[in-house]
Structure 1
């Protein structure tokens, strides 16, 4: 009997595969698919992108992107919200944003879906922090709580009227209650 050995998938091989919905990620040489966003997830994501861009875009401080694929350190991850400082946004020769984002984010936000593993999502945020991401948020709509991953991988829990930490120079004051009040229609 002949045994065929499959070559190990690389990041470059992964990036050549067609995109699927919901997005797949490449972590530790394995492909995993993100869960399909649902109502609460979509509302929080949309509001965060909007409020961050209203605050930081006009002064060219930072820009928030929904569901942006970032490739770095042999991983390809799709975070719910990626925040890049203005001077780190990769551009083409013509000044347009590059399609491939091959850098770690300055800020990243993940919104926990009911079927997602807390450990896997937290691992992704902590990995970003190890590489250089300045701030991460893990939003848990079910428990109305937000974990922040601060510099040096310090983890802090925010609830109720706690004001959330933001990237330096981003003039945004936002409490946990304000985030979860977006869910009330």
Structure 2
């Protein structure tokens, strides 16, 4: 179950960002601080395998970089998608070329994995906010019914299942993953 705290005099985003980090992470949306649920087995396996698979394809060719649980602060909110993928030339860096600690832009591709105690509509609202802020692609993975809802800016969502191939960023177009293959990661036999 997530924990939401509404502050009577509306905590500012800057004040929120000065608070100590929580485990699991807390997000700031319109003055409300909500702690994400602790990832469980299915969520954790999918998240770990996905970030590894994306980075195996994207990192060596400097196409993109996938992160787990990365705080992204933009548009007056601070969210922590389960996976955030940034196209290589959009990865924020310092003047010396090192990756920055604070990402103040939206991800190019965000992936959320639905946990049993999460509200689907809250996640969809976060995805829509990110799409309006510049995110190009979003997945909402539902382990319970083994489907993935795909979101693009200014389009109706579509649901992928079974042997259907999941869409990826244009820079990763040579990589393919089916819904069935992704959910096969949950079987350890």
2:61 is paired with a residue of what secondary structure? coil
Contact 1:136–1:148 (Cα < 8 Å) also in 2: yes
Whole-Å separation in 1 of the counterparts to 2:48 and 2:9:
39
Question: What is the aligned counterpart of 1:176 among 174, 179, 182?
Answer: 179
* Cα deviation, residue 28, structure 1: 1.3
Match of 1:69 in 2: 71
* Aligned pairs for 1:107-122 within 5 A: 107-122=109-124
* Aligned pairs for 1:78-93 within 5 A: 78-93=80-95
Distance 1:178 1:14, change over 3 A: same
* Aligned pairs for 1:11-160 within 5 A: 11-160=13-162
Contact 2:87–2:171 (Cα < 8 Å) also in 1: no
Instruction: Give 5+ residue unaligned stretches, structure 2.
Output: 1-6
TM-score (norm 1): 0.95
Instruction: Give 5+ residue unaligned stretches, structure 1.
Output: none
| Structure number, greater radius of gyration | 1
2:82 is paired with a residue of what secondary structure? strand
Whole-Å separation in 2 of the counterparts to 1:36 and 1:50:
20
* Cα deviation, residue 52, structure 1: 0.5
Whole-Å separation in 1 of the counterparts to 2:38 and 2:96:
34
* Cα deviation, residue 58, structure 1: 1.1
* Cα deviation, residue 6, structure 1: 5.2
Aligned length: 181
Contact 1:130–1:153 (Cα < 8 Å) also in 2: no
TM-score (norm 2): 0.93
